[in-house]
Chain A
Amino acid sequence: MQSTRIIIEPGRSEKNYWRDLWLFRELFYILSWRDIKVRYKQTVIGAAWSIIRPLLTTIIFTIVFSRVAKLGSVSGAPYSILVFAGMLPWQFFANSLSEASNSLIGNANLVSKVYFPRMIIPASSIITSFVDFAISFLILLGMMVFYQYMPSTKIVLLPIFILLAFIAAFGIGLYITALNVKYRDFRYIIPFIVQIGLYITPVGFSSTVVPEKWRFWYSLNPMVGVVDGFRWCIISEPLYWPSLVTSFSMTLLFLVIGIFYFRRTERSFADNI
């Protein structure tokens, strides 16, 4: 009996929050499953959406950056594969941010009626974006077959960078989600962040074209490390380690801030939503 004693007090950061998170893991599975299921249930071509969007953007980017701006890849890989290898993690990150930021408001009825660690909701919405990511990954394989391009053996290290993308999306996602509950105009800011992010992240170009003096500032973007890592694994583009370390540190910093801010505001979600 003692083990299930709950004490409710103002400002009490529950010691068993993380244990609760573990106890509610089934809710996490089931909410992710619900989001995935519902997402594809009433769309005509369902999963095809997660293929069409990145594919079209890739085609446009390839034309703009390769044909018009005359950029190329160091490794000699086809430019559209280079773009797509960047597009994959970027789309995942961008989708995660927009899904996560609306997730709590979209589940307002749950938040105001049931207790559970609120972190489950943005986390499960990121899982939904991951399914899109997995589907788009198939196009990458298709493109490789089309160009008869053999990836390097480093592709086995890709899961590390997928995990990194997860952490980046989760940390920033948590922060924005919590802000969005309180200040609803963040929903207007997110498309803006995503738009700008697309150009300051090496999606349409390779990081090798960035001048040395800007490299540090450029690497503060957590997604730079992720995209560079993806390209390193898939098409053997050179990986600039200091840049990866900077990006990774920023990712961790955002994660800590995200969790901290989320946990601090979490208690008043039900009152603000």
Chain B
Amino acid sequence: MSEPVIKVENLSKRFVISHEKQERYTSLRDVVARRAKKIFSFPAQPTTNIPAKEDFWALKDINFEINKGDRVGIIGRNGAGKSTLLKILSRITEPTKGRVTIDGRVASLLEVGTGFHPELTGRENIFLNGAILGMSRAEIRSKFDEIVAFAEIEKFLDTPVKHYSSGMYVRLAFAVAAHLEPEILIVDEVLAVGDAQFQKKCLGKMEEVSKNEGRTILFVSHNMNVISALCSNAILLSGGRVIESGRSIDVMNSYVLGSGGKSSEREWVGKMRPGNNIIKLNSVRMIDASRYSKDTFSINEEIGIEMNYEVLEDNNVLWLGHNLYNSEGVNVFDTHSVSTDLYVKPHKKGKYSSVAWIPANLLPEGTFIIGSGVFNHSEHRIHFHERDIVVFSIVDTYDGKSARGLTTSHFSGVVRPLLRWNINAKK
């Protein structure tokens, strides 16, 4: 079925930024004062250079269509207009121009546990939150046991949620949301919270309903892995405009590439550097054997993940690590700095450069995303963990010397090692 269920035409949203004062709200006092000032000031008074108010277009002429059963990821940097778009689609705020047509019941999940009240028990909050998300009492009652089981909080059902651990709180909140049955589900970055295992469970649940029941899902996330795992299509927003829309893999690539310069090189300066007062990350780049940074590697060359960092304090044992994901969101491998002396010895103050070498003929052709971190799991410390730092691609050689040999058609597999084969003729 390819009938559009959401149709967005020339959608724009303007905010008026006031330069006069920083207050969040207008007060009557100011309005009166301003009026009075206007009356008593000379009309010919020269205007100041800075306008008192400035228009800011959070969204500008957005157009797209979403078909029934599509799972669409919306990606973009902070301030690209993602949240504003979701808020308009959820009818929380009104557009300034344009038009949106939605066919079907919409439920939006812009926050986990909206309306949860700390004084109320888990049971009471399930009903409260359910009603806020648009479920009827009968609907909640019929799914109550399922929700409780999903959240794994049976024992604490009658405890006020203020006594819950944050994990339990999130699980309960998401469990309610996961049992919503709208035709269109709008989800903001809510999965960023909660432990990894529960995130996976939620994703599984969302995927299941969307596939089995043809539900349309609109999903905002910064996490490329989640987007690639869940969404078939994606829309890239930047500066309030649609930059690209299409298959999620393509859009994700241009998102990361569009971040300026080469996608395989990332540098931070000053306050932007990830880290804490022990260690700061300066840069990460993908390099070849001659230490030359590039985007695209051949399948039969060694690829280095170079990380430059600065240690600001003596006597910390720091473990370095990288996560490598493929474009389907599969975590192909994680690697830690186990093979160096500094895995057990403390770092001294100063600047360091590390390189982790990915052997030639290990990864297949495709696009890969690197995340990096510095931590020490034996001390239960994470100094920083940055996702989606750099992206690089690998191309196969088709010269018959890589694992695919002379096969020119599709060659599958998460890894593509060139194994040692032995064939002996039996006597």
Residues of A within 8 A of B (CB): 1-2, 4-11, 24, 26-27, 29-31, 34, 37-38, 41-42, 107, 109-116, 182-186, 267-268, 270-272
Contacts and interface: CB of A to CB of B under 8 A. Distances in A.
A109 B15 CA distance: 20
B226 to A, nearest CB: 20
| Chain B contact patch, size range | 35 or more
B302 to A, nearest CB: 49
B26 A183 contact: yes
B115 A6 contact: no
Interface centre among A34, A111, A270 (most CB of B within 10 A): A34
Given A1-B103, A6-B101, A9-B95, A114 B26 contact: no
B105 interface: yes
B326 to A, nearest CB: 34
Contact of B28 (A7, A41, A185): A185
Nearest to B27: A185
Given A109-B111, A110-B115, A270-B92, A30 B128 contact: yes
B316 to A, nearest CB: 39
A26 to B, nearest CB: 5
A23 to B, nearest CB: 8
B100 A7 contact: yes
A124 to B, nearest CB: 11
A27 B91 contact: no
Contacts of B97: 10
Given A26-B136, A37-B120, 20 more contacts: A4-B105, A5-B103, A6-B100, A8-B89, A8-B102, A9-B95, A26-B131, A26-B137, A27-B132, A27-B134, A29-B131, A30-B131, A37-B124, A42-B119, A109-B115, A112-B92, A183-B25, A183-B28, A268-B94, A272-B25
16 contacts: A1-B104, A4-B103, A4-B183, A6-B100, A7-B99, A7-B102, A8-B89, A9-B99, A34-B117, A34-B128, A37-B119, A114-B90, A114-B110, A114-B114, A185-B28, A270-B93
A185 B31 CA distance: 11
B119 A182 contact: no
B232 to A, nearest CB: 22
Contacts of B98: 9-10
Interface of B: 15, 25-29, 31, 87-106, 108, 110-111, 114-115, 117, 119-120, 124, 127-128, 131-134, 136-137, 183
Contacts of B103: 1-2, 4-6
A219 to B, nearest CB: 29
A107 to B, nearest CB: 8
A272 B115 CA distance: 19
B369 to A, nearest CB: 30
Contact of A115 (B91, B117, B128, B131): B91
Contact of A185 (B29, B94, B136): B29
A184 B104 contact: no
Contacts of B133: 114
B65 to A, nearest CB: 15
Given A1-B104, A183-B28, A27 B90 contact: no
A64 B179 CA distance: 60
B192 to A, nearest CB: 16
Nearest to B135: A26
B95 A10 contact: yes
A228 to B, nearest CB: 33
Contacts of B183: 4
A183 B27 contact: yes
B18 to A, nearest CB: 12
Contacts of A113: 92, 110-111, 114
A115 B87 CA distance: 9
A123 to B, nearest CB: 15
A185 to B, nearest CB: 5
A119 to B, nearest CB: 15
8 nearest A-B residue pairs (beta carbon): A115-B91, A8-B100, A183-B28, A30-B131, A267-B94, A270-B93, A6-B102, A185-B27
A107 B137 CA distance: 21
Contact of A182 (B15, B26, B100, B114): B26
Contacts of A37: 119-120, 124
A138 to B, nearest CB: 25
A233 B376 CA distance: 77
B101 A115 contact: no
A6 B91 contact: yes
Contact of B25 (A8, A116, A182): A182
A230 B133 CA distance: 40
B115 A4 contact: no
Contacts of A4: 103-105, 183
Contacts of A9: 95, 98-100
A79 to B, nearest CB: 40
A116 B92 CA distance: 8
Contact of A114 (B31, B89, B92, B136): B92
B10 to A, nearest CB: 11
A81 to B, nearest CB: 37
Given A30-B131, A185-B27, A270-B87, A114 B119 contact: no
A10 B128 CA distance: 30
A186 B117 contact: no
A27 B135 CA distance: 9
A38 B119 contact: yes
